[in-house]
Chain A
Amino acid sequence: MFLSESFRKIASDGLWNNNIVFGQNLALCPLLAVTGTATNGLGMGLATLVVITASNGLISLTRHLIPSEIRIPIFVLLIAALVTLVDILMNAWAHELYKVLGLFIALIVTNCALLGRAEAFASKQPVKEALWDGFMMGLGFLLVLVALGAAREISAAGTVFANASLLLGESFRFLEVTVIPNYKGFLLMALPPGGFIMLGFLIVGKRLIDQKLATRKVPVTVLTPVIVEEEL
């Protein structure tokens, strides 16, 4: 790999170990609200990816200027301004995309993961690391959104990425697949309760994989104290 040790750790944290949803259990409100279909999840994921990377970079850039006593209002101010900026610019210059994504962009303000990353990472780290962390956290979030969206869409309607061509353009029509033909539909999964149920399954799946990896990779005697410490 070309990446140094610390950059690799940031990447694996963002994508898996400390994933916004699986690791930190943050951002569940926008997560559950928009993942009715894989396409919506992808849209929300892309918008969040851009904003979280930018906000991490901006906050890291100004981190020496921000006194710790008033850091929260400044973070909120910066994130809200950034989201509004993206919202306005997209409405003007990418209007077709905005009509599909518009709803999600405003929702990013409610995404506590952005504030969480600003507080936990960007305000303490150099710009390059902060940008990389934002990108990886955003990517991890995007993958969960798409996975949850796809799982709910398949179980609710039997399709994946329906209307993806509206979001990404005609050339992405190949993404629209009917997984189960003549599916009668299972409405519950498209409604909010279905989001909670499916998210539960995904989190259980992640924990199971982690358990398996842990028992296989490292001798138990070495691992045990580390685990106990983390649990506390």
Chain B
Amino acid sequence: MKINPATTQLIQDQAANYLEWLKRWLEPANLARLRPKLEFQTGILAGFALLASVLLGVTNFSTEGTIQRRLDEDLIKSLEEVVPAGLHDNDMLQDTLTIPSAEYNIGANETIVYLAKKSGKVTAVCYKFIAPDGYSGAINMIMGVDRDGNILGVRVLNHKETPGLGDKIEVAKSDWILKFVGRSLDNLTPAQWAVKKDGGEFDQFAGATITPRKSVQAIYRSLQLFKAHQEQLINQALTSKAEQ
């Protein structure tokens, strides 16, 4: 297809005209004359708002996928911390089950359980939970439990506890959180699921009792959640096999 040279010329002229007009409109003197006018003010505010919305919308839309991938990577990393790699050969992010958890006071009405499977059989499960009553706010944790209900590992994902005192629940600060490995509802009595000050099994920290106490209680409650759904979770492999 051939474009008429006259048309091209016309378009170029038009564009030059508009550009010239815009340049003149943007002259400080012209803008100074316009600024006090109400219509101009309304238009400018709307223009800025529109520009900001469009810019944010486009950025959000174009980075949504990337951010989701990054968050998935983070989740995989924390899943790997609490479930040994040798225990599963599936993609745990895709193998999930949502169970109701409102009555366990672990911060959510529904808990997503990530299933670790080896050759189709559930070997362990992993889920996030929250101690809603930490010393200065919620303590977010993640825990891996094997199919018999023994803890494989617990980690604190984030918290706002006092630096230097309560933050010993982090694995980077002390090995306190590692003491939960191998514990279960069967090998400790309910009374032992407490800090030593309350007659239990677990250390408190010098100067900080509430943080470890509430952490232990939340871990205990989330183990009860697992126990209540143990059959359903462990047999998950069979149902999904049946579906195949």
Contacts from A to B (Cβ < 8 Å)? 36, 64-70, 73-74, 77-78, 80-81, 84-85, 88-89, 91-93, 95, 99, 156-157, 185, 187, 190-191
Contacts and interface: CB of A to CB of B under 8 A. Distances in A.
B contact patch SS: helix
Nearest to A185: B164
Contacts of A95: 67, 70, 73-74
A24 B56 CA distance: 32
Given A67-B36, A70-B41, A156-B164, A77 B48 contact: yes
Contact of A67 (B40, B55, B164): B40
B70 A67 contact: no
B181 interface: no
Interface in B12-44: 26, 28, 31-32, 35-36, 40-41, 44
17 contacts: A64-B28, A64-B31, A65-B31, A65-B44, A66-B44, A67-B36, A67-B40, A67-B41, A70-B41, A74-B45, A74-B48, A77-B48, A81-B56, A84-B56, A88-B56, A88-B59, A95-B67
Given A85-B55, A85-B56, A92-B63, 12 more contacts: A67-B40, A70-B41, A77-B48, A77-B49, A81-B55, A88-B67, A89-B59, A91-B70, A92-B66, A92-B67, A99-B74, A190-B164
A191 B160 CA distance: 12
B164 A157 contact: yes
Contacts of A91: 63, 67, 70
Contacts of A81: 52, 55-56
Contacts of B35: 66-68
B49 A64 contact: no
Contacts of B36: 67
A78 B48 contact: yes
A209 B233 CA distance: 68
B162 A74 contact: no
A142 to B, nearest CB: 22
A195 to B, nearest CB: 12
B171 interface: no
B163 interface: yes
A36 B49 contact: no
